[in-house]
């Protein structure tokens, strides 16, 4: 979460008035006034998303087009800043990747889509984190070669419909959405509104992210919320949902001091990219892939009921071996869960450690993530 802002400096999303109308508790987040929870509370919102369908306002995130003379030129231009294989994207496919600094540290994580539509054949669509978006856009724009331009999208909202009943609800408004696969996107009308829809999300559940024109955002959101299976969900449940799914929160679990190898994100680096070794920090990162890193992000399952929060020291054999970066109660798990960094020698699943909660060592063990099964729609 970003540092507190005065109300005068907070930005608002196109759905801000609707959040107030729905009784949301608002908090500063990444420079925006955002809903942390609604009347039912975080626990109920989390469980509802796991059981039915939750609707999230993620309009604070950054959306942009990167355009050029042809797809290959555009893809290679962005590949100079990230380790993902963008050139290999099929039309309509999405890639999760990382903006890197020269030391292999992570400037941000982002989604990159190759549009399926012929009119957008020479472009990429990117979504970046809210707290980083202006810095990201400036960094990308400054490093693009002549003829390639980044165009931030300022007139669209972004909403996410997540949960096991998301498809059932969404196809009432956009039947074509039911046939989409996970990590694909396409332009389609949703309740008559032209949208860019991706079958993706950050909860571990099946669902969609919908980029919608700002002028239509409230009406479309109200239509989706009008369905019996759908409830509005705030940032509190979004955080516990992504933690259960073992997904990183930028600025907490990954940042400019962590590499993809340390962050257990080596899988984002495509085979061709490893062979070409031409992404920022490639020498450091490929060295860690070959020889190992000194620390690694792991899942942790504390014993008992007391959650271990961010900043908690992780101890083994009387020595501090790491720190928790995200921790809290996992409603679906039914107990406390956490993730953090430990010395590689203690990263093996099953390793017993202690978490220093309020000055007392509490037993925990290293576990595989995710903490709950991911339910993405990967096959027809």
3-state helix/strand/coil string of 155-207: CEEEEEEECCCHHHHHHHHCHHHHHCCCCEEEEEEECCEEEEEECCCCCCCCE
Number of other residues whose CB lies within 10 A of the CB of residue 215 = 12
Q: Domain spans of the chain?
A: 7-58+155-244, 294-375
Number of other residues whose CB lies within 10 A of the CB of residue 9 = 9
pLDDT digits (tens, 9 = 90+) for 159-178: 999 999 999 999 999 999 99
Q: State which fold the 294-375 domain adopts.
A: Elongation Factor Tu (Ef-tu); domain 3 (2.40.30)
Instruction: Give me the pLDDT at residue 237, please.
Output: 98
Instruction: Give me the pLDDT at residue 376, please.
Output: 82
Domain 7-58+155-244 has CATH 3.40.47.10: no
Q: Which ranges of the chain have pLDDT less than 50?
A: 1-7, 380
Instruction: Give me the pLDDT at residue 8, please.
Output: 59
pLDDT digits (tens, 9 = 90+) for 283-330: 999 999 999 999 999 999 999 998 999 999 999 999 999 999 999 999
Cβ 6 vs Cβ 24: under 8 Å: no
């Amino acid at each position: 979460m970003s540092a507190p802002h005065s109300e005068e400096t907070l930005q608002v999303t196109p759905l801000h008035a609707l959040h107030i109308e729905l009784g949301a508790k608002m908090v500063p987040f990444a420079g925006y006034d955002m809903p942390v929870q609604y009347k039912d509370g975080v626990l109920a919102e989390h469980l509802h998303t796991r059981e039915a369908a939750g609707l999230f306002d993620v309009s604070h995130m950054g959306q942009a087009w990167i355009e050029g003379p042809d797809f290959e030129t555009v893809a290679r231009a962005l590949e100079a800043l990230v380790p993902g294989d963008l050139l290999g994207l099929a039309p309509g496919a999405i890639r999760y990747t990382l903006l890197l600094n020269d030391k292999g540290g992570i400037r941000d994580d982002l989604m990159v889509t190759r549009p399926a539509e012929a009119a957008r054949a020479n472009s990429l669509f990117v979504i970046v984190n809210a707290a980083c978006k202006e810095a990201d856009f400036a960094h990308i724009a400054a490093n693009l070669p002549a003829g390639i331009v980044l165009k931030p999208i300022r007139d669209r909202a972004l909403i996410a419909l997540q949960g096991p009943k998301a498809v059932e609800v969404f196809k009432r408004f956009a039947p074509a959405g039911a046939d989409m696969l996970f990590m694909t996107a396409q332009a389609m009308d949703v309740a008559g509104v032209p949208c860019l829809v991706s079958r993706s999300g950050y909860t571990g559940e099946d669902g969609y992210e919908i980029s919608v024109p700002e002028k239509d955002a409230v009406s479309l959101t109200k239509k989706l919320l009008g369905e019996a299976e759908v409830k509005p969900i705030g940032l509190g449940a979004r955080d516990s949902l992504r933690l259960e799914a073992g997904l990183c929160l930028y600025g907490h679990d990954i940042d400019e001091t962590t590499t993809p190898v340390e962050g257990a994100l080596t899988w984002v680096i495509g085979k061709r990219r490893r062979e070409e070794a031409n992404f920022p920090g490639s020498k450091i990162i490929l060295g860690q892939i070959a020889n190992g890193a000194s620390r690694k992000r792991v899942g942790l399952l504390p014993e008992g009921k007391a959650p271990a929060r961010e900043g908690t020291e992780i101890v083994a054999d009387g020595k501090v071996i790491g720190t928790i970066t995200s921790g809290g109660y996992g409603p679906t798990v039914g107990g406390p869960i956490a993730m953090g960094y430990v010395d590689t020698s203690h990263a093996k699943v099953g390793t017993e450690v202690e978490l220093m909660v309020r000055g007392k060592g509490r037993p925990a063990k290293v576990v595989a993530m995710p903490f709950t099964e991911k339910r993405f729609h990967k096959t027809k």
